[in-house]
Amino acid sequence: MRFELFIAMRYLRAKRRQAVVGVITAISVIGVAAGVASLIIALAITNGMRRDLQERLVGSTAHVELMRVKGDGIRDWRALLERLRGVPQVTAAAPGLYGQVLISRGARSGGALIKGVIPKDEKTVGDLLQSVVDGSADALEPVASGRAAVVETHVPEAGHGAAKSSKGAEEQQISELGEQDVRQDAAVDAQAQAEAARVLGAVAAVPPIVIGKDLAETIGAGVGDTVLVTSPQGELTPLGLVPRYQRFSVVGIFKSGFYQYDSSYAFMRLTDAQRLFHEPDLISVISFKVDDLYHADRVGVAIEQAAGAGFQTTNWMEQNRELFRALKLEQVVTFIVLALIVCVAALNILIALTMMVMEKTRDIAVLMSFGVRAEQVRRIFLLQGLLISVIGTVLGLVVGYGLSWAGGHYQFIKLDAAVYSIDHLPFAPKFVDALIVTAVSLGVSLVATLYPSGSAAKVLPAEALRYE
Amino acid sequence: MSEVGGGESGYDLEPFAPEKERAVVMRAVGLTKTYAAVSGAAGRGDVELFRGLDLTVHAGEMVAIVGESGAGKSSLLHLLAALDRPTAGEVWFGKQRLSGFTERDAAEFRNRRVGYVWQFHYLLPEFTALENVAMPLLARGMGRGAALAKARVWLGEVGLLDREDHRSGELSGGEQQRVSLARALVTEPQMLLADEPTGDLDGKTAEVVFGLIQKLHREHGLTSVLVTHNLEFAGRCDRMLRLRDGQLV
């Protein structure tokens, strides 16, 4: 093999009698490099997009959600919650009550999915409350702990809200709970009592709600505005079925980057949601975070078993299966399309080697005349093709990884954050991609060398030199 | 082993049978070589170069083969070097029957038993004179250092040590042919086959090269078969054979 490599390397380096062979060899190397670099960069981008999407998606939502098979809601949830927090691999759990509502402000309205939450728990299973871009989610905290934040950050809004809410006396009654909390707290903090009472009285009068950015735009609501939340689960009155409705004050607007959430999600305190839906002390779902998100399905089964009969779980993979399948398909198609560049480059290798074999027929015959075997001749040209491919592949890997790294580090390809919810093109080159790309590149090139190296091995020395 | 092509001569097939005083190194028996007619000339039939040709070469002998152009001298040499196969007949090298060779055997034979010099030097242009000489040794798997060292010795034998780093394009015609002679002999073969080794050279240079072949033949106890047009050189060999009408006379 040393001998064959020695000859092949010298042939590759040497000046050609026919300049065109050298040119085609150079083009082959560049072609392979371009193909490999394109593949690496494209795969890095699709990986980056996928990773970014997954991080945001998985961050925004719970990994596993537990609910009743019948959909009748979970009673006695506190004990169950504590028990399920002990399931192995579960890192966090939070109760939630979902309900479909209509949110309106003046003439504008939009459908929304309300999730009643305990914020300190909800923040451990989802990022949406941490993604508040306008206002703050702090007002959702039970007033006992969230009071200070409310006072400090929402004085103008609260004042604004107070002006509006003073119109309706019924709103005062609705948030008795909040007022109780306030009173207890105000007793502790005597100095700020007068001021707090004035502000909080107004804030607590209208319970807080945090809504998604797109939903906020749909209904034209900003932080501090009051919106009307209407539940379709009406009340039977002497006048017939009357929808239940209640005013809420928008204290925060979140933006996750996912239209699905930003256009239809809204958060309120669990107690407020229970009151709105007339479901005292009932929750519809327990959300979980697990330590390994790729084991969400297995942990889900464990949670189901721990919860007992009548419960079922879904996980983030099931909920987003179509999305990730589409991303995978996109990646495969990208790979195939760009692999065609490598195929074209391999065609160049085929041409370069075929021409070289033609040019070297006499030399091949001479080599054979002093005892070089046909298989050695075949290997010389096989190696030469592989050398072209290896040089091109290494060059392509360096360029591809270099550009991917630079793209990720300097973020020089900017995106419209409003459209893509990320302001730069993410690059996430993976080692396994390099292995696959290298294998494809070398494999395709090897196929391209088979014909020329085979025809080199078929040279008959006596024939080749007879007419010289 | 029993079937022998062109066995009309009733040759004694025991190789190295004592014949006169010297052992037989190579023996061709009833060699026939025909070529299919080229360019599709229908009905012209095959071209026959020689039929039932016999040749015996003894150890240490220097045999010259002369003949007109196209008589088949080169083709005969190809058969002796296992570069080509006869249409009929056998070539024996010692106890080895060349027509029984596989491709691998033939390569091994050319690498170890015979050295071949062509009319044209056929040095590989990408390699230096020294590398060209070392090539047959490298091809058989010898380490680079050892091969180059041995090549240097043989480059010295042909008087071109100072030219070892030159490529073939930087050498004169005579030097090129001397390098190719060193390449043929670096494997220390038992037999040297040379196909008009001076055919491309002018008179003075040809004399130098032929003198060198004679000298090396003597000093290294070679057995040589030379094809040549030069009757003067042929006359200086131990034996001169003429290829005429497909027979050696």
Q: Tell me the nearest-neighbour CA distance from B123 into chain A, angstroms.
A: 8
Task: Name the residue of chain A whose CA is nearest to B133's CA.
Answer: A370
Is residue A325 within 8 angstroms of chain B, CB to CB?
Answer: no
pLDDT in tens, A125-169: 888 888 888 888 888 877 543 343 333 334 344 444 444 444 444
Identify the residue among A370, A378, A458 best suited for mutation to test binding to B, counting B beta carbons within 10 A and taking the highest: A370
Cα atoms in the 13 Å half-sphere on the side-chain side of A163: 7
pLDDT in tens, A163-218: 444 444 444 444 444 455 555 555 555 555 655 555 555 555 789 999 999 999 99
Rounded to an integer, what distance in angstroms lies between the CA atom of residue A58 and that of residue A291? Answer: 12
Domains held by chain B: number: 1
Mean pLDDT, to the nearest integer, of A278-290?
88
Q: Which pLDDT score, from 0 to 100, does residue A14 have?
A: 74
pLDDT in tens, A23-64: 888 888 999 999 999 999 999 998 888 888 888 888 778 889
- Higher per-residue pLDDT: B68 or A112: A112
pLDDT in tens, A308-329: 888 999 988 888 888 888 888 9
Identify the residue among A369, A372, A460, A467 best suited for mutation to test binding to B, counting B beta carbons within 10 A and taking the highest: A369
pLDDT in tens, A437-462: 999 999 999 999 999 999 999 988 88
Q: What domain range is B34 assigned to? A: 7-248
Is residue A373 within 8 angstroms of chain B, CB to CB?
Answer: yes
pLDDT in tens, B133-185: 999 999 998 999 999 999 999 998 888 889 889 998 899 888 998 899 999 99
Does B24 reside within a domain?
yes
Q: Which pLDDT score, from 0 to 100, does residue A188 have?
A: 55
Is residue A222 within 8 angstroms of chain B, CB to CB?
Answer: no
Q: Which pLDDT score, from 0 to 100, does residue A174 have?
A: 44
Query: Do the chains contact at B139 and A14, CB–CB below 8 Å?
Result: no
Rounded to an integer, what distance in angstroms lies between the CA atom of residue B139 and that of residue B161? Answer: 22
Query: Do the chains contact at B126 and A11, CB–CB below 8 Å?
Result: yes
Among B249, B225, B248, CA closest to B238: B225
Q: Which pLDDT score, from 0 to 100, does residue A116 have?
A: 92
pTM: 0.72
Using an 8 Å CB-CB cutoff, list chain A residues near B126.
10-11, 13-14
Among A76, A75, A116, A72, CA closest to A94: A116
- Alpha helix positions (H), A61-175: 77-84, 119-125, 143-153, 155-165, 170-174
Of B84, B120, B140, the CB nearest to A371: B140
Is residue A380's pLDDT more than 90?
yes
Instruction: Decide if A87 contacts A98 (C-beta within 8 A).
Output: no
- Higher per-residue pLDDT: A175 or A238: A238
Mean pLDDT, to the nearest integer, of B99-121?
88
CB neighbourhood size of B172 (10 A)? 11
Q: Which pLDDT score, from 0 to 100, does residue A236 have?
A: 76
Mean pLDDT, to the nearest integer, of A300-312?
89
- Alpha helix positions (H), B113-202: 129-139, 144-157, 173-185
Q: Which pLDDT score, from 0 to 100, does residue A34 have?
A: 93
Is residue B41's pLDDT more than 90?
no
Residue B200, classified by CB atoms within 10 Å of its CB into exposed (0-12), middle (13-18) or buried (19+), is middle
| DSSP code, position B238 | S
Task: Name the residue of chain A whose CA is nearest to B78's CA.
Answer: A462
Rounded to an integer, what distance in angstroms lies between the CA atom of residue A445 and that of residue A447? Answer: 5
Of the pLDDT bands very low, low, confident and very high (cuts 50, 70, 90), residue B39 is low
Q: Which pLDDT score, from 0 to 100, does residue A217 have?
A: 92
Q: Tell me the nearest-neighbour CA distance from B11 into chain A, angstroms.
A: 28
Mean pLDDT, to the nearest integer, of A90-106?
91
What interface predicted TM-score (ipTM) does this complex get? 0.84
Does B1 reside within a domain?
no
Rounded to an integer, what distance in angstroms lies between the CA atom of residue B170 and that of residue A16? Answer: 16
DSSP, collapsed to helix, strand or coil, labels residue A88 as coil
CATH at B187 = 3.40.50.300
Rounded to an integer, what distance in angstroms lies between the CA atom of residue B30 and that of residue B7? Answer: 6
Is residue B86 within 8 angstroms of chain A, CB to CB?
Answer: no
Residue A255: CB partners within 8 Å, gap ≥ 6? A131, A133, A212, A213, A262, A421
Instruction: Decide if A75 contacts A81 (C-beta within 8 A).
Output: no
pLDDT above 70: percentage of residues in chain B: 88
Mean pLDDT, to the nearest integer, of B111-126?
89
Q: Which pLDDT score, from 0 to 100, does residue B21 have?
A: 60
Of A371, A374, A465, the CB nearest to B139: A371
Of the pLDDT bands very low, low, confident and very high (cuts 50, 70, 90), residue A435 is very high
Q: Would you list the DSSP string of A157-224? A: HHHHHHHHHTT-SHHHHHTHHHHHHHHHHHHHS-TTHHHHHHHHHHHHHS-EEEEEHHHHHHHT--TT
Helix, strand and coil in chain A, % to nearest 5: 60, 20, 20
pLDDT in tens, B131-147: 999 999 999 989 999 99
Of the pLDDT bands very low, low, confident and very high (cuts 50, 70, 90), residue B232 is confident
Task: Name the residue of chain B whose CA is nearest to A461's CA.
Answer: B83
